[in-house]
Structure 1
């Protein structure tokens, strides 16, 4: 059976409203209780995600950026159901899914797949590539024949630039870039609508990062995929993303179209991140100018969580949590300085 025939044998996803966002995150909070001594009055808690709301539109590559430890991966795992939110809601294609039991959530597992950061750890070393790729297909589509499964594996392998003859080999026989392309193939085996990619190129050599990104961009166009792409590298976002959410210490401080964000960043933190992108000319490089370190998520600053490192902060910033407000260019910015029109130091 041909690869096309195998694809046709997989039951199609139910029809949905194309105008509706594919993924909606509504007021999500995630706190991790660290336990502690029974005599302690307050148990230590990591406030990883703090009232985050965003939408991911169909067919786009939504990028979530920020420094390490800002909550990007935690939010991605909540969306995928690997973590349960402390508060808030996750909606997929109009259905709330965060509170569903395992059996009720099963149809959504097929439509939502994930590519993990480390290709050296995410593939089972005891399974061949063929076994790895067959597993999700046999689980979600048990009615498929062996010939149909084999044809589908070959079709997907070719689509991501892999040689179908790799099927009998084991993960340790491949380079990091080849392993990550195998991981991408595994995510595509069940024809998902939505793929979360959690730092998918950060563990790879710079020389092959572009190859993996090109594979992801090609598959998005060919298969009409929707991506949630987690990264700390804004130079990657510029070429891959359609929209960007900037996170800091468990909050989203700015949401914008990619072109708008790079042409006119509004939030002080976004500006500092962009200033740190390496330039071709050293004369163009600007020092980040970001004092101090990221505060502990166990003891969040009052008011705006960025105020103690922000060059525009005033008394209001330290006392009042800013709300995300729409700007004339469509950007959402949570910043008192932007709201008050004082977007330069001393303004």
Structure 2
């Protein structure tokens, strides 16, 4: 049984979908078309049939353009949103259908670090109050001295001076606040952390410090990460595996080294070609042309077809399925499946 648990992914996302209705009231759904009043509802298709796995001790980075559904996936896994379809399993247990009270035992195991450290900390609470609150909530039997010791230990581990405990969030810089937010997540000894763009609001000079801090916590505490980002240079430094999203659909999933050395999906190649590199043999920048579809009116076939140089009739009518490649990566692309990419490049 122990081996079976070790082999099982810590997190499994199966065919996950999330739609947000744009028309809230009955009157908003009424439209006047061809001389008739018809009822029509519009939805934003934020996440579409996404399946991912996160193994114990790894850092899966989810990347893509703004609006591709990365943060929605993070909030679905954290239980902050309810899926429209699909399932989320954590350590073998289905969690997407749990009530608030049913999720309560998992809150200690699953913690989230948000993008904006200016908004994620309560401005009316001192740093000590912000850090002690989750410890008191999840460990009600702990004494006041034990809570204080735990908070001090975590503050030291993330490079936050315990003497700051009486101060308020507005007295700190963005980097210091994000360290405090990371400390708050670590106070309850989690095993899985969802980090939603945790460094994008910080100065570039501070980003590396916070990333290294999160990597140190991963090693010392045995953490598993679901790391949401749009910065591919961060992915190369932080991630063990990468999932590329486009318009709420998975394009490619691969080990970090494999993805950066041999990207297969046309969208992944375009993303990587845009990363600044100090190399003579770096690939030429791929400029994507064509119209960008909206999540409201998704194309019938492949979501990337309108911007893809390799799209054909099949791409416009049939949505590709993710297929395992010889190097272990997963790619959802008809052109890759039919070996059309390299043939076009050679020609």
TM-score (norm. length: structure 2): 0.93
CA 1:38–1:262: 2 relative to 1, 3 Å: closer
Aligned equivalents of 2:46, 2:273: Cα separation in 1: 26
Corresponding residue to 1:65 among 60, 63, 66: 63
Query: Which digits, 9 at most, give the CA deviation of each residue in 1:313-338, with x for residues without a partner?
Result: 11100000000000000000000000
Per the TM alignment, residue 18 of structure 1 is displaced from its structure 2 partner at its CA by 1.9
CA 1:78–1:163: 2 relative to 1, 3 Å: same
CA 1:16–1:139: 2 relative to 1, 3 Å: farther
Task: Tell me the residue number matched to 2:34.
Answer: none
Q: Which moved more, 1:196-205 or 1:17-26?
A: 17-26
Task: Tell me the residue number matched to 2:30.
Answer: 39
Task: Tell me the residue number matched to 2:5.
Answer: 17
Aligned equivalents of 2:281, 2:202: Cα separation in 1: 29
Aligned equivalents of 1:125, 1:103: Cα separation in 2: 27
Task: Tell me the residue number matched to 2:100.
Answer: 102
User: Are 1:123 and 1:171, in contact at CA under 8 Å, matched by a contact in 2?
Assistant: yes
CA 1:38–1:150: 2 relative to 1, 3 Å: same
Query: Which digits, 9 at most, give the CA deviation of each residue in 1:261-287, with x for residues without a partner?
Result: 001000000000000001236884733
User: Are 1:312 and 1:344, in contact at CA under 8 Å, matched by a contact in 2?
Assistant: no
CA 1:71–1:105: 2 relative to 1, 3 Å: same
Per the TM alignment, residue 38 of structure 1 is displaced from its structure 2 partner at its CA by 3.8
Query: Which digits, 9 at most, give the CA deviation of each residue in 1:229-281, with x for residues without a partner?
Result: 00001111001000000000000010000000001000000000000001236
Aligned equivalents of 1:136, 1:297: Cα separation in 2: 37
Per the TM alignment, residue 292 of structure 1 is displaced from its structure 2 partner at its CA by 3.6
Task: Tell me the residue number matched to 2:155.
Answer: 157
1:261 aligned onto 2:259:
yes
User: Are 2:322 and 2:332, in contact at CA under 8 Å, matched by a contact in 1?
Assistant: yes
Per the TM alignment, residue 291 of structure 1 is displaced from its structure 2 partner at its CA by 1.2
User: Are 1:16 and 1:93, in contact at CA under 8 Å, matched by a contact in 2?
Assistant: no
Per the TM alignment, residue 104 of structure 1 is displaced from its structure 2 partner at its CA by 1.4
1:30 aligned onto 2:18:
yes
Task: Tell me the residue number matched to 2:177.
Answer: 179
Q: Which moved more, 1:131-140 or 1:274-283?
A: 274-283
Per the TM alignment, residue 58 of structure 1 is displaced from its structure 2 partner at its CA by 0.4
Corresponding residue to 1:241 among 239, 242, 249: 239
Q: Which runs of 4+ in 1 moved over 6 A?
A: none
Task: Tell me the residue number matched to 1:143.
Answer: 141
Q: Which moved more, 1:336-345 or 1:265-274?
A: 336-345
Query: Which digits, 9 at most, give the CA deviation of each residue in 1:72-128, with x for residues without a partner?
Result: 000100000000000000000000000011111111111000000000111111100
Q: Which sections of structure 1, spanning at least 5 residues, go unmatched?
A: 1-14
User: Are 1:276 and 1:285, in contact at CA under 8 Å, matched by a contact in 2?
Assistant: no
Aligned equivalents of 1:142, 1:203: Cα separation in 2: 34
Q: Kindly tell me the number of residue pairs found equivalent between the two proteins.
A: 334
Aligned equivalents of 2:302, 2:212: Cα separation in 1: 37
Task: Tell me the residue number matched to 1:334.
Answer: 332
Per the TM alignment, residue 344 of structure 1 is displaced from its structure 2 partner at its CA by 3.7
Aligned equivalents of 1:327, 1:282: Cα separation in 2: 29
Aligned equivalents of 1:89, 1:181: Cα separation in 2: 32
